Amino acid sequence: MEPKPSNNRNVIFLVIVAALGYFVDIYDLVLFSVVRLKSFADIGVSPEHMRTDGEYVINMQMFGLLLGGLLWGIIGDKFGRIKVLFGSILMYSLANIANGFVTDVHSYAIIRFIAGIGLAGELGAGITLVTETMDKEKRGYGTMVVAGIGLLGAAAAATVGKHFSWQTSYFVGGGMGLLLLLLRVGTFESGMFKKAEEATGVSKGNFFMLFSDRKRFLKYLACICLGLPLWFIVGILVTQSPEIGKALGAKEVLNAGTGIMYTYFGIAIGDVVCGFLAQILKSRKKTVLIFQSLSVVTVIIYLTRTQLTENNFILICLFMGFAVGYWATFVTIAAEQFGTNIRSTVTTTAPNFVRGALIPITLTFEYFVQQFNIITAAFIVMGIVTVIAMISVTYLKESFNKDLNYLEE
């Protein structure tokens, strides 16, 4: 039997806190993309270096996410999910406050690296807690709420970034995180973790367990590859929309901040619809395949639309976001594939390795830009990440309604 929490009120509170935590997490995660041009102009970056310096800073943030995912995942399995929630949010909140004081690109990149480490812990720990606490028939709804509310943090980042200075935008993110720590006092630890903690002779939070068995490693790799299209769309197609719009002959300069806001609106809506559809179909795999197919269609529309207007761009971003709005379902699938003693490690590292995969994706994209042009490069890379993602989802076993109260040997 799966351990039960004390009452439904506690579970609802836990879901709300996890959702608000993810809201702040996403706000801070995308804020650089929103204020990139404004902040770079203020610290003296020349227009011709805006794109390359931007890639340098975002890659440092993504490298921090990679490292942080590993760090917080192991801590979550060894010492508890709640400790990760407290530690990670404290780190990225302080880093974001510090970010408001940078005066050069290198210090900007170093602080985004530190923030990235902190940002890595929020989602995995939150989803792990929710999946281990809720009834197995309903946990899809819990993770859906976490993602649906959380992803609206991107809209908040775009709104604040538009109406306030980039320094104030970073201060707001850090301040929200520190306020959220007060709510965390009322959260409780997962019953499954407590039971696993009492088990003897079982390795907990051992990252290398994922590589010691071929079947387990391939399952883990497939979980990571599921999310590649989302971060290509957000990290490349929308973030570099000013450059892509220029290549498409857009009637005006496309605003990446606006694009990110509406893309995340779409992702939030998509996450809710994806969660409901998975509950109706009783299959997370089929649902993800449907959304992956839809994402290809939306990207083709974007990359073939000449003379884009701002309104066209906003609509396309909404649809592209909706089509890759299976982020919560993807993380839930990862959580459901592994035992309690390495579940936090998997659930925290997998989404952050996807985010970190933006580094090789960016390098691949830049290679094809040099060989062809920015539009052709976008088509090629989207094709690559989609094929990999679709192969990955077909490889994994269906995990809907799976009992999660077990340990990996």
State pLDDT tens for residues 107-130: 999 999 999 999 888 878 888 888
**Which CA distances in Å does 394 have to 288, 382, 387?**
10, 18, 11
DSSP state, 205?
A: S
Q: How far apart are CA 85 and CA 100, in angstroms?
A: 23
The answer to whether the CB of 253 falls within 8 A of the CB of 242 is yes
Q: How big is the CA angle at 103 (ends 102 and 104), to the nearest 5 degrees?
A: 105
Cβ atoms within 10 A of the Cβ of 101, count? 11
Closest CA to 236 of 385, 106, 102, 351: 385
Domain ranges of the chain: 8-188+211-395
**Structural tokens at position 303:** 């990359």
State pLDDT tens for residues 348-363: 888 888 877 888 998 9
Directed axis angle between helix 50-79 and helix 105-119, to 10°? 30
Spatial neighbors of 100 by CB under 8 A, at least 6 apart, are 166, 167, 168, 170, 171, 174
Q: How far apart are CA 58 and CA 107, in angstroms?
A: 13
Q: How far apart are CA 78 and CA 75, in angstroms?
A: 5
Cβ atoms within 10 A of the Cβ of 269, count? 17
Closest CA to 184 of 68, 328, 73, 21: 21
pLDDT per residue, tens digit, the chain (409 aa), is 444 444 577 788 888 888 888 888 888 888 888 888 889 999 988 888 887 888 889 889 888 888 998 899 888 888 888 888 888 888 999 999 999 999 999 999 999 999 999 988 887 888 888 888 887 777 878 877 887 787 788 788 888 988 899 999 999 999 998 888 887 666 666 667 666 666 666 777 788 888 888 999 999 999 999 989 988 998 899 988 989 999 998 888 888 878 887 888 898 889 889 988 988 898 999 999 999 999 999 999 999 988 888 889 999 999 999 999 898 888 889 888 888 888 888 888 888 888 778 889 989 999 999 999 999 999 999 999 999 999 999 999 888 878 777 777 7
- What top-level class would CATH report for the domain 8-188+211-395? mainly alpha
* pLDDT for the residue 5: 44
State pLDDT tens for residues 202-234: 777 788 888 888 999 999 999 999 989 988 998
Q: What is the Rg, in whole angstroms, of the alpha carbon atoms belonging to the chain?
A: 20
CA 34 from centre of chain: 16
* pLDDT for the residue 394: 93
* pLDDT for the residue 2: 44
Helix or strand or coil: residue 190?
Answer: coil
**Structural tokens at position 307:** 């003379």
User: Phi and psi (nearest 5°) for 197?
Assistant: -65, -30
Q: How far apart are CA 163 and CA 173, in angstroms?
A: 14
Q: How far apart are CA 271 and CA 286, in angstroms?
A: 15
